[in-house]
Amino acid sequence: MKPLLTLLLLAALVLAAAGCIQPQIPDPHPTPLPTAPPPSGEPAFLISNTDQYLSYWNEKMGWNLPDRTRLAYAEELNRYLDATWEKEAAGYHVTNTSDFLRAVKTILGLTEEQFAAFVTADAEQKRADQLNYHSHTSRLYETYADQP
């Protein structure tokens, strides 16, 4: 064992003398690695067109709402948004997804089963939209934090 250790030490010295091994010197000013900010509870989002929003979910969830009914619900949802959330140039800044989804449930008269499926689908859609934010495949939600 001792001859092997001696041989390894001798080889390391020869390589170091030949300039093949560079000493590891810590960087005094390391460059921080970019990291995503930790999620802060529910993500906020902007909603600018309630008819488009309800049309999307009507089709996705198979609620089969007639156009007139959907438009009436969209107007009622607009009234809710006006009364509850701050309107900005790009739309309503919704910061509490749970309250917003419960309002949609009440306005549309969803059953508990429909509501549970809607909440799950909404969370999956938001997750997909956050992952695809910079692609052209996801346009329903825009994460408020990513706005300029």
State pLDDT tens for residues 68-107: 999 999 999 999 999 998 888 888 988 888 999 999 999 9
Distance CA(49)–CA(120), nearest Å, equals 21
SS3 for 88? strand
- Model confidence at 44, in pLDDT bands (50, 70, 90)? confident
User: Residue 32 has what DSSP assignment?
Assistant: P
Angle at CA of residue 50, ends 117 and 58, nearest 5°: 35
Q: Which residue has the higher pLDDT, 132 or 64?
A: 64
If you write DSSP's letter for every residue of 98-114 in order, what string do you get? HHHHHHHHHHHT--HHH
**Does position 133 have pLDDT exceeding 70, yes or no?**
no
Long-range Cβ pairs for the range 128-131 (8 Å, 24+): 130/43
Half-sphere exposure of 32 (CA within 13 A, CB side): 3
User: What do you get for the CA distance between the two ends of the chain, in Å?
Assistant: 64
Ramachandran angles phi, psi of 35, nearest 5°:
-135, 150
What pLDDT is recorded for position 143? 45
Return the residue matching tokens 């198979």: 62
Distance CA(72)–CA(4), nearest Å, equals 85
Contact in structure between 22 and 74 (CB atoms under 8 Å)? no
- pTM for the predicted model, two decimal places: 0.61
Distance CA(148)–CA(145), nearest Å, equals 8
Domain ranges of the chain: 45-146
